Amino acid sequence: MKFDTIIIGGGLSGLVCGIECARSGRRTAIVSAGQSALHFWSGSFEFLGSQGGKRIIEKPLYHAGSLDPSHPYRKIGIDRTAALLDRTVPLLAEAGIKAHGSLERNHYRMTPLGFTKPAWLTLDDYLAFGNLSDLEGKKAAVINIYSYIDFYPRFLEAGLRKLGAECTSADVNVPQLDILRQSTTEMRATNMSRFLRDDAVDALAREVEKASAGADMVVMPAVLGIFSDEPVARLRRGVSRPIYFVATTPASVPGVRCQLSLRDLFIRLGGQFMPGDTVTRGDFQGNRLRKIYTVNFGDIPLEADNFVISTGSFFGHGLIADLEKIYEPVFGLDIEAAPNRDDWYDKDFYAPQPYMGYGVVTDTHFRPRRHGETVDNLYATGALLSGFNALHEGSGAGITLATAFHAADQITKE
Amino acid sequence: MNLQEQNISDNNFESCIKCTICTVYCPVTAVNPDYPGPKQAGPDGERYRLKRPYFYDEALKYCLNCKRCEVACPNDVKIGDIIQAARIKYASHGPSLRDTMLANTDFMGQFATRLAPVVNFSLGLKPVKYLMDKVLRIDDHRTFPKYSGTRFESWFRKKAEAAQESFTKHVSYFHGCYVNYNYPQLGKDLVTVMNALGYGVRLLDREKCCGVAKIANRCIDEATRDGENNLRAIREAVGRGDEVLATSSTCCFTMRDEYPHLLHLDNHDVRDHIMLATLFIYRLLDEGKARIAFRKDYRKKIAYHTPCHMEKLGWTIFSTSLLQMIPGVDFIKLDSHCCGIAGTYGFKKENYAYSQGIGAPLFDQIRASGCDFVACDCETCKWQIEMSAGVPVLNPISVLADAIDIEETRRLNGVS
């Protein structure tokens, strides 16, 4: 089976790259082995959160200039990176996802555990503020759903108080959710979001309105709107105070929404999405990848002019660590990693862990190497790359998106 | 020695990281709160069951065995297999009379085809439906598929077999119970299409039901016997150089994957030779080994529905690509969404409402699509969609049989 472009990996990076390739009219396929890390999404994207010993930086684009030259942003070029990332908000909007933010200046988001973190983009409905002083003196009502097992309002309240907000808290319930309590394990955000629609949202709105009397704002776990904006809009219509959501896990509501919306946009643009399949190997001819083989297709090859590998880091199985080595399992691409297992870790758990910076070695165009030779028609994007510690520097989404746009541009402007 | 690999059981429940993503994509969780969800029913419950069988939960019977949890799992945990294997191993009582009747498609089919007019008439009668509902708990809203007066096998022996050996190339056809007892036309369509492409069709020696209904209803000894028989027949066909084609995604999936995973039948020597007819045909055309010509006057708006086991096989693209090759087709791909019937599941009174609830978004999308018909590779999806959305459903092979210019295709492939 022949395509123009095949992308291995159906997470944020693979989908965005796929959307851009399909939009250019190329016959594009995405092979996806299981659902992606986007399912744990906070509702915010980071570009650069901390750098040069500063835990929180305010001007990320300015600081990006002093990153190591091997960092993906520097390899692309800072101006070019900014131009690529400016395409994110319109692309999300096309998929039906509304977000805001700026590369010039970080804003702040709050985690469900009450920590304040810098962010580049945040979904319009989610708890975010431009300055740490914005919440001073505000009266926030933290509203939880009665018996919801994945949200702990006390942590969030403590975080809000630390920023000078006054907090009240309350549990609310609507009878339409009683059905979920029959099974003690199923009181989950994504399950609730299936039942919180139509009348159930109106009932929830009445309860939230009552429980937040006297407050300036309502903060709630993200438990509605998994398939559309309508339940959130309906809730807003029924509550006289602004409502801000905090995404919870496992399986976050905005994460599933974003994954499905991007996948649907890719399919609308003519892309072929192949879920639940795993690429097993590639056929190389000289420095070019000609074909790939998958579990489901058996001996039927998938051919393309260009390939993109966006399989993620350890979590996505883009990288595998066993007792002796770290390797890239699809093609055996060259890896940047310490050879000795003892050097993979820092014994201080909270220190930047070396293994998090490991990934495939690439040239200036993000083409990976195999047996020391660059593969001419293969591009690597996202968490699979080396040269950064996304967790420590708060740069995961920015790198994922910038390298995805960059790979798509190189393929479509050939 | 790799400790991490030594640590993993056959059903790899230890690989579960408790991310709960499977639950998001479970069609049952979305409608039935009595079902504990795939994570709890599968890998989480397995830890308890291994400790004490007492922890087995009868609510696992609500699992459709659609395998959408496995398609979604980021860690390749065999969640659906864990749940089905637990049902087989731990369920306290044997299958009921009703479940045994629903499971024995061969036995019922042989009986019913002999008396097809009487059976079809009776199954449509209100008092019969009422009695089946009250006594057997087979829901009276259900429309039973009609039985055929002539079995596909009988038709084939009488009308088609003699001509098949004149071909130089052959395939063997696993027709399944539905084609044999209910809808021989699909089998006839396959013979038409394969013959036009230059291939003679052979039947397997004494084919039995693939076993999916027996597995679902825990008639495991019978399913294993049927499976052993089918593998014998498949080995014989593969031995003479044939690929074994099926027109049902579920039969195909069962023989490839459920045989080793749930019945512990080793099929590794023939597994790659069991495939859907659409995959085989697509490959012939793609590799230039056969050519196809379509009628110029064929004009249809077709909506393709992806059966759950087709999603799991990962072969949707072969069927949809063939349909999209037809020049006069206005093609719509429906969202991949379970129709809710899951074989015999939706016939059971206790499941009927959930079955319809699961399929509701799909039925709405079909009705809104304005399609002439739905194309789909699964017969039970067909019953469900025809009954619930009121739109006819055709197997892609039947669509091809109608859309190709048979004379021209035969000529292109050197068939006289």
Q: Does pLDDT of B33 surpass 90?
A: no
Q: Report, as an integer, the average pLDDT of B301-312.
A: 97
Distances from the Cα of A76 to the Cα of A205, A299, A360, angstroms? 47, 37, 16
Report the first-to-last Cα separation within chain B, whole angstroms: 61
Shortest Cα–Cα distance, A32 to chain B (Å): 9
Domains delineated in chain B: 3-90 (1.10.1060.10), 300-403 (3.40.50.1860)
Nearest C-alpha in B relative to A38: B21
* Residue A77, phi-psi category: left (phi > 0), alpha (psi -120 to 50), beta (remainder): left
By C-alpha distance, which of A109, A38, A141, A99 is closest to A229?
A99
Of B19, B36, B313, the CB nearest to A185: B36
Question: Min CA distance, B271 vs chain A (Å)?
Answer: 11
pLDDT tens digits for range B211-269: 999 998 889 999 999 999 999 999 999 999 999 999 999 999 999 999 999 999 999 99
What confidence score (pLDDT) does residue B112 get? Answer: 79
CATH architecture of the domain with range A127-246: 3-Layer(aba) Sandwich (3.40)
Across the interface, whether the CB atoms of A1 and B333 are under 8 A apart is answered: no
Q: What tokens were used for A213?
A: 């009397």
- Suggest the residue from B12, B20, B55, B249 to mutate for an interface test with chain A (most A CBs closer than 10 A): B20
CB A234 within 8 A of CB A201: yes
The verdict on a CB contact (< 8 Å) between B25 and A300 is: no
Whether A111 contacts A246, CB under 8 Å? yes
Q: For residue B1, what pLDDT is reported? A: 46
Contact with chain B for residue A332, Cβ under 8 A: no
B40 interfaces chain A, CB cutoff of 8 Å: yes
Q: Is A316 on the interface with B (CB under 8 A)?
A: yes
> Are residues B29 and A275, on separate chains, in Cβ contact within 8 Å?
no
- Residue A185 near chain B (CB below 8 Å): yes
Residues 6+ apart with CB under 8 A from A14: A7, A8, A30, A32, A308, A310, A381, A382, A404
Question: Is the CB of residue B41 less than 8 Å from the CB of residue B35?
Answer: yes
A274 CB near a chain B CB, below 8 Å? Answer: yes
- Residue in B with minimal Cα distance to A33: B74
Record: contact B313-A296, CB cut-off 8 A = yes
CA distance B57 to chain A (A): 12
Report d(CA B276, CA B271) in Å as an integer.
Answer: 12
| Interface with chain B: mutation pick from A40, A148, A191, highest number of B CBs within 10 Å | A191
Nearest CB to B23; choose among A2, A251, A267: A251
Kindly report the number of other CB atoms within 10 A of residue B54's CB atom: 8
* Contact check, Cβ <8 Å, A34/B44: no
Put simply, the answer to whether A183 touches B40 (Cβ < 8 Å) is yes
Longest Cα separation, chain B: 66
Question: B394: distance to nearest CA of chain A, Å?
Answer: 23
Q: Which of B257, B201, B250, B259 is nearest to B230 (CA)?
A: B259
Residues of A in contact with B321 (CB under 8 A): 1
Q: What is the DSSP-derived secondary structure letter of residue B108? A: H
Cβ of B37 within 8 Å of Cβ of A183? The answer is: yes
Q: How many CA atoms lie within 13 A of B344 on its CB side?
A: 20
Set of chain A residues whose Cβ sits within 8 Å of the Cβ of B311? 275-276
How far apart, in whole angstroms, are the C-alpha atoms of residue A281 and residue A295? 10
Please give the residue that has the higher pLDDT: either B108 or A355.
A355
Higher pLDDT, B1 or B309: B309
What tokens were used for A413? Answer: 């402007």
How many CB atoms within 10 Å of residue B294?
17
**ipTM for the predicted complex:** 0.93
What is the chain A residue with the closest CA to B73? Answer: A34
| Interacting residues of A286 by C-beta distance below 8 A, sequence separation 6+ | none
Pairing type for strands A320-321 and A326-327 reads antiparallel
B117 touches chain A (CB under 8 A): no
Which positions ≥6 away from B190 have C-beta within 8 Å? B173, B175, B201, B245, B247, B277, B397, B401
A183 touching B (Cβ < 8 Å)? yes
Helix axis angle for B396-403 and B184-196, nearest 10°, is 50
A304–chain B nearest CA distance, Å: 14
B314 inside 8 A of chain A by CB: yes
Give the closest of B34, B286, B315 to A296, CB-based.
B315
> B272 in contact with A at a CB cutoff of 8 Å?
yes
Annotation: CATH topology of A2-99+257-412: FAD/NAD(P)-binding domain (3.50.50)
Decide if A278 touches B, using CB distance below 8 A: yes
Question: Which of B21, B276, B319 would best serve as a mutation to test chain A binding (most A beta carbons within 10 A)?
Answer: B21
The confidence score (pLDDT) of residue B347 equals 84
Interface check A149 vs B, CB under 8 A? no
Strands B244-246 and B274-276, bridge-based pairing: parallel
Any A CB within 8 A of B313 CB: yes
Q: Which residues of chain B from 231 to 260 reach within 8 Å of chain A, CB to CB? A: none
Select the residue from A2, A32, A35 to test the B interface by mutation, using most B Cβ atoms within 10 A: A35
What is the pTM for the complete model shown? 0.95
Return the residue of B nearest to A275 by Cα: B71
Q: Residue B10 above 80 pLDDT?
A: no
Q: What is the count of residue pairs from A and B with beta carbons less than 8 Å apart?
A: 103
**Chain A residue with minimum CA distance to B29:** A191
Q: Does A80 touch chain B (CB under 8 A)?
A: no
Span B333-353, pLDDT tens digits? 999 999 998 888 888 888 899
Residue A28 parent element (H or E): strand A28-32
Using the Cβ of A313 and the Cβ atoms of chain B, whether some distance falls under 8 Å is answered with no
By the CB < 8 Å criterion, does A188 face chain B?
A: yes
Contact between chains at A183 and B30 (C-beta distance less than 8 A)? no
Joined together, the tokens standing for residue A222 give: 């993200």
Nearest to B36 among A186, A194, A298 (CB): A186
Residue ranges of the domains in chain A?
2-99+257-412, 127-246
Q: What is the pLDDT of residue B5?
A: 60
- pLDDT for position B11: 76
C-alpha A37/C-alpha A43 separation (Å) is 13
Residues whose CB falls within 8 Å of the CB of residue A308, separated by 6 or more in sequence, listed in order? A5, A6, A7, A8, A9, A14, A17, A378, A379, A380, A381, A407, A411
Containing H/E element for B351? helix B349-369
Residue A405 structure tokens: 């746009």
To the nearest whole Å, the CA of B261 is away from the closest chain A CA by 16
Q: Report the chain A residue with the minimal C-alpha distance to residue B335.
A: A264
Q: What is the mean pLDDT of chain B?
A: 92
- In angstroms, the separation between the Cα of residue B237 and the nearest Cα of chain A is 20
Residue A40 at interface with chain B, using a CB cutoff of 8 Å: yes
Interatomic CA distance for residues A292 and B286, integer angstroms: 16
- Is A251 close to B20, i.e. CB distance below 8 A? yes
B370: left (phi over 0), alpha (psi -120 to 50) or beta: left
Q: 3-state DSSP call for residue B61?
A: helix
Q: Are A2-99+257-412 and A127-246 in the same CATH fold?
A: no
pLDDT by residue, tens only, chain A of 414 residues: 999 999 999 999 999 999 999 999 999 999 999 999 999 999 999 999 998 777 889 999 999 999 999 999 999 999 999 999 999 999 999 999 999 999 999 999 999 999 999 999 999 999 999 999 999 999 999 999 999 989 999 999 999 999 999 999 999 999 999 888 887 778 899 999 999 999 999 999 999 999 999 999 999 999 999 999 999 999 999 999 999 999 998 889 999 999 999 999 999 999 999 999 999 999 999 999 999 999 999 999 999 999 999 999 999 999 999 988 999 999 999 999 999 999 999 999 988 899 999 999 999 999 999 999 999 999 999 999 999 999 999 999 999 999 999 999 999 986
Contacts with A, B 182-241, CB within 8 Å: none
Q: Tell me how close the Cα of B220 comes to any Cα of chain A, in angstroms.
A: 27
